[in-house]
Amino acid sequence: MTARITARELFEQQRERLDLRWLAGEEGGTRVLESGDTVSRRPSLAGYLNAIYPNKVQILGTEELAWLDGLDSRLRWETIAKIVGFGPLALVISKDQPCPEDLRIAAEEFGTPLWTSPKRGHELLNHIQYHLARTLAPRVTLHGVFMEIYSIGVLITGESGSGKSELALELITRGHRLVADDAPEFTQIAPDVLDGTSPEMLQDMLEVRGLGVLDIRQMFGDTAVKKNKYLRLIVHLTQPHLDVVPGGIERITGDLGVRRVLDLDVPRITLPVMPGRNLAVLTEAAARAHILRAKGVDPAAAFMARHSHFLERSS
């Protein structure tokens, strides 16, 4: 999934927070910035004015404007033409400093969005860099029900009809929270963090066979839903094969594995769906066991060590 943002969208999304005003180059509002190789190389998504490796959003603070003022008229015009000629997504002047007329003319001529803000340069840099990085981060849509169970994000997956929605509904009645049903979207906002959210159309909704679409917020209250959560565990529901008998080590450690999501390996545990099994309790136990393993506690390893010690002592 390729993420993108236009200059107009960035302006509207940050307008109120940064008190932005558009000075020139409004026709450049359709300029597009997309995720991919162009935003992973040396130029940053946002940064102070750089005429060698131009940032996607160039911020002009007091020092940058003073540097321009120190150039002779010919070199100044050539530098300004070079800056707008790179085609940045936008130029932003900090602290409501007066906009140089030649810069405004060049921005208007080249269709380069030119904004101003009363905020200091580092505030503009932090907000715009974070917003662009999150908006353009790699993302993927997975099939399943994403929930918060004991404060960690758990994705419930399985084939159609395996009981994912029924399990989610029972977990909600046990006090856990729904993030997204059917098509949660995951964004890699950091090298080791996948943030899961719900598409706007599916927000707060859960589809259960026989009951139809349920509005979880209206039925169970605001505490039964959550806007986003980091993905930490996948619980996969599967129909057991009668001719396959679990091995001894699997009986001790559980059916553990990993699933590759974008650039991360997410722990996955497989639960067989059989009559009489309380999947809600098993899923809660899987979440608790994952929390213990994250703290360095491994009951399977402790049991095998205890067993080895017992054999050595017996011999």
Return the minimum-mean-pLDDT range out of 57-66, 221-230, 268-277. Answer: 268-277
Catalytically annotated residue among 31, 164, 177, 232? 164
Q: Phi and psi at residue 188, in whole multiples of 5°?
A: -85, 95
- 9: three-class secondary structure by DSSP: helix
Average pLDDT of the residues in 273-279: 86
Axis crossing angle, helix 73-85 with helix 62-69, rounded to the nearest 10: 130
pLDDT the model gives residue 306? 82
Q: Which of 82, 10, 1, 17 is nearest to 46 (CA)?
A: 10
Confidence category of residue 247, pLDDT binned at 50, 70, 90? low
Between strands 264-272 and 228-238, the pairing is parallel
pLDDT the model gives residue 310? 82
pLDDT at 102 exceeding the cut of 80: yes
Architecture of domain 139-310: 3-Layer(aba) Sandwich (3.40)
Q: Which of 61, 36, 67 is nearest to 47 (CA)?
A: 61
pLDDT at 46 exceeding the cut of 60: yes
% of the chain exceeding 70 in pLDDT: 92
Contacts of 50 (CB under 8 A, 6+ apart): 43, 58
Average pLDDT of the residues in 73-88: 90
Between strands 193-197 and 145-149, the pairing is unpaired
pTM to 2 decimals? 0.75
Average pLDDT of the residues in 140-157: 95
Structure tokens that stand for 156 in this block: 């419930």
Structure letter (DSSP) for residue 258: E
Q: Which residue has the higher pLDDT, 303 or 155?
A: 155
Catalytically annotated residue among 143, 174, 227, 288? 143
Confidence category of residue 21, pLDDT binned at 50, 70, 90? very high
pLDDT the model gives residue 14? 93
Residue 138 has a CB neighbour count (10 Å cut-off) of 16
User: So where are the chain's domains?
Assistant: 4-135, 139-310
Chain-centroid distance, C-alpha 269 = 23
pLDDT at 32 exceeding the cut of 60: yes
pLDDT at 297 exceeding the cut of 90: no
Q: What is the mean pLDDT of the chain?
A: 88
Examine the residue annotation and report whether 164 is marked as an active-site residue of this protein.
yes
Confidence category of residue 253, pLDDT binned at 50, 70, 90? low
Examine the residue annotation and report whether 82 is marked as an active-site residue of this protein.
no
Between strands 228-238 and 212-215, the pairing is unpaired
- What residues does 6 pair with on adjacent strands? 32
Place of tokens 């750089």: 50
Q: Yes or no: is domain 4-135 CATH 1.10.150.120?
A: no
pLDDT at 130 exceeding the cut of 80: yes
pLDDT the model gives residue 231? 96
CA 224 vs CA 47, 130, 184: distances in Å: 40, 29, 17
Structure tokens that stand for 313 in this block: 């002592």
Confidence category of residue 177, pLDDT binned at 50, 70, 90? very high
- What residues does 114 pair with on adjacent strands? 24, 91
Helices (H), the chain: 7-18, 62-69, 73-85, 101-110, 121-135, 164-173, 216-220, 248-253, 279-294, 299-314
Average pLDDT of the residues in 220-242: 90
Read out DSSP for 24-93?
E-GGGGG-EEESSGGGTSSS-SEEE--SSS--SEEEE-HHHHHHHHTS-HHHHHHHHHHHHHT--SEEEE
171 vs 169: CA distance, rounded Å: 5
pLDDT at 290 exceeding the cut of 50: yes
pLDDT the model gives residue 210? 87
pLDDT at 37 exceeding the cut of 50: no
Inter-residue contact 171 to 280 (CB < 8 Å):
yes
Catalytically annotated residue among 56, 176, 181, 182? 182
pLDDT the model gives residue 205? 94
Average pLDDT of the residues in 250-268: 83
Confidence category of residue 257, pLDDT binned at 50, 70, 90? confident
pLDDT the model gives residue 269? 92
